[in-house]
Amino acid sequence: MTNRHFNGLKTTLLFSALWVLLLAIGAIIAQGTGRSAFIWVFALIGVATTFYSYWNSDKLALRAMAARPVSEAEAPGYYAVVRELATAARQPMPRLYISPTAQPNAFATGRNPRNAAVCCTEGILRLLEPRELRGVLGHELMHVYNRDILTSSVAAAVAGVITSVAQFLMFFGGGGRERGGNPLAMIATALLAPIAASLIQLAISRTREYDADEDGARLTGDPLALASALRKIESGAAARPLAPSQRLENVSHMMIANPFRGSSGLTRMFATHPPMRERIARLERMAGY
């Protein structure tokens, strides 16, 4: 299992692209409107929002899925697998939850391993064999150990600042010609920058999914178990898609599979998860297939 896809490097490059995009917008605004100071206001708002979401990520996600804490007496197998994997990774035992949702899905959240929570839906606990569930739980724990909640929070914050700045530019950037700026360039930036920022943010989310797949497979030592689980989860999620809501959309990127109705064509560009076929193929290559 030596196959590596440089997901960490990809994430770094994508973050760099986000920051370059933000700085480029700032430069256009400074040149064209003379109102560059306000960008710091949006940045501060973004930081405050990010800090709140990051600090309360576990509460927000668990509430969105109506999850309840589960005791070891209620779910001894669930506890045994998570304890085994956490011990192997030399990490503390997370809190465990179950969501009363028929769709097979799972997620992990929390700002660090000491404040982590893992949640499985009732659907996934019924659907998967113990070996497959172990593969899924390895994937979810690696999201916590890789600090993916922080990564996704920062990416969302920067993308949000870019979108806010672009909206400001649309409404207040009309004086660019008098100040030596190019109004067409500012309009184009205002329209295209939020799209670019969203695409980069979603690409970061997809690289973190690939990383959790690979690192989780290394933690369990069984990439084919996760591949088998992903096949079942894809079919089960497609048969029981969740109804989109703002709460669920805010946490859907944390789940092991897209909880909503599958996308096709151009909408795949805006997906939070990589294609399941590619994820399974990577895991099979790890196993030497």
Provide the b/e sequence for 180-202 (b: ≥16 CB within 10 Å).
ebeeeebeebbeebbebbbebbb
Q: At what angle do helices 276-286 and 223-239 cross, to 10 degrees?
A: 170
If one counts every other C-beta atom within 10 angstroms of the C-beta of residue 236, the result is: 20
The Cα 213–Cα 221 span in angstroms is 12
**Distance between CA 115 and CA 124 in Å, rounded?**
23
| Two structure tokens written together for 180 | 């030596």
Task: Please identify which of the residues 129, 132, 140, 178 carries the catalytic annotation.
Answer: 140
Amino acid at 74: E
Q: Beta partners for 109?
A: 117
Which of 86, 187, 178 is closest to 140 using CA atoms? 86
The token pair at 228 is 């088998």
Catalytic residue status for 178: no
Residue linked to tokens 């990564």: 151
For residues 118 and 144, give the distance between their C-alpha atoms in angstroms, rounded to a whole number. Answer: 9
- 136 contacts 234 by C-beta, under 8 angstroms: no
Q: Which two tokens stand for residue 143?
A: 């999201």
Instruction: Give SS3 for 96.
Output: strand
Measured between alpha carbons, how far is residue 211 from residues 78, 144, 146 in Å? 23, 12, 9
- Active centre residues (catalytic): 140
